[in-house]
Chain A
């Protein structure tokens, strides 16, 4: 089956062989979409990739958030999901004096972290692991979280292209919050422009070639 745009309730494909994957439902031998997006079929598994909508946190996601509050035993972090997340003191990979928690993270600080658990009580974050912690500086902005896989690309191929062309360090949170750090603000804005360019075209196949071409054009303009 060719990739196609579907709307909720639309029949995607008919046939006993097809299995309903993410965002689909099978009724009377037909697979229907339950979300607006791109329908895909791979070895008989049919799924719909949404292109819009709010961020749904998942275990293992690396995210960028903002410190909302400092509690006695940790921090409340806004990661742009319906529920705030909790970062426990125990999940900071070094000794923290309970009386000096604000020296580690204080209200309005930006932080990169990993979701290590989601349960009824809420979302738990951890700073254990490479690259997590307080963000000291850099340009931070949001894209729709559904666009993140395309911005990163297969095995990070897309992000690599952007890094090479802008000289910036780039961290893309699964929640759609992006951190860009470069030598000059101009460079960071250039990287942001490239990321926005990709985000707007996230449903196009062959995006890598397009982005490479875009960078060549931008280079020529300069």
Chain B
């Protein structure tokens, strides 16, 4: 494996001291504050919807593709969702070519769960011919530059790409999807926007949206998918523990931050 330059131990001490004493981060942010978010639309015109998300120096691209297929036997009138995420070796010296490793798999699964469980997608409306033909929505996420918190950037990108996606025209006669002819119809989405917030424990502090330097110092992480105060997915990561009070506090931090991020997405998409 490549040698990875992680945050030096003395810097880690400084990060913790500064958070505890001043309630601040090296880049001047408060503990519960996100970096600047920008979203660029249509990074690939070949996608039904695609975006580039920048959270500070962290960058991901997300694309929505759609395909028609037979429904699953247990849900004949529902469409499908498939979320994949790849940690591109291009995006950091930490990621290697080859089959996905556990960090990439976790990244994809947590993002998938957050979107799936929130009720963001109205799967009934993705049915074209009951029992025969339904839309599968593929949401593919790629890291371009990892400067921390790829986890939350992925969901932000997925939400944004899904919001701007247009369903392609379906030529029933020839049973063909005409990808170059998008309809005016967007995806059937609900108001349950599944914003995911990862709360990290660093020393005695709980923070959101860590930079890479901070993420290296994070002892443990709780990723909370929620919409307007209702939590629909959770993932506690890494082998260190939270105190009970800390985890209760993390729920509140995430609930507050998710509303802020929801508005940030709205604003960035305008």
Q: Which residues of A contact B (CB under 8 A)?
A: 66, 78, 80, 84, 108-110, 135-142, 179, 185, 188-189, 192
Contact = CB atoms under 8 A, between A and B. Distances in A.
Contact of B8 (A66, A136, A189, A192): A66
Interface string B4-34: 0100111101100110011000100000000
Q: Which 6 A-B pairs have the closest CB atoms?
A: A140-B8, A140-B11, A185-B18, A108-B9, A110-B8, A137-B10
Nearest to A67: B9
Q: Say whether chain A's binding surface is mostly helix, strand, loop, or mixed.
A: mixed
Contacts of B18: 185
B5 A142 contact: yes
A140 B5 contact: no
B10 A140 contact: yes
Interface of B: 3, 5, 8-11, 13-14, 17-18, 21-22, 26, 213
Contacts of B26: 189, 192
B14 A109 contact: no
A76 to B, nearest CB: 11
B8 A137 contact: no
Contacts of A84: 3
Contacts of B3: 78, 84
A80 B5 contact: yes
B5 A109 contact: no
A185 B11 contact: no
Given A140-B10, A179-B10, 5 more contacts: A110-B10, A135-B10, A137-B14, A140-B8, A141-B11
A135 B26 CA distance: 20
Contact of B13 (A78, A137, A192): A137
A3 to B, nearest CB: 30
Nearest to B17: A185
Nearest to B4: A78
A188 B10 contact: no
B5 A139 contact: no
B9 A188 contact: no
Contacts of A192: 26
A109 B11 contact: no
Contacts of A80: 5
Contacts of A179: 10
B14 A110 contact: no
A94 B3 CA distance: 30
Contacts of A188: 14
Nearest to A189: B26
A192 B14 CA distance: 13
A42 to B, nearest CB: 35
B9 A110 contact: yes
A136 B14 contact: no
B93 to A, nearest CB: 10
Contacts of A78: 3, 5
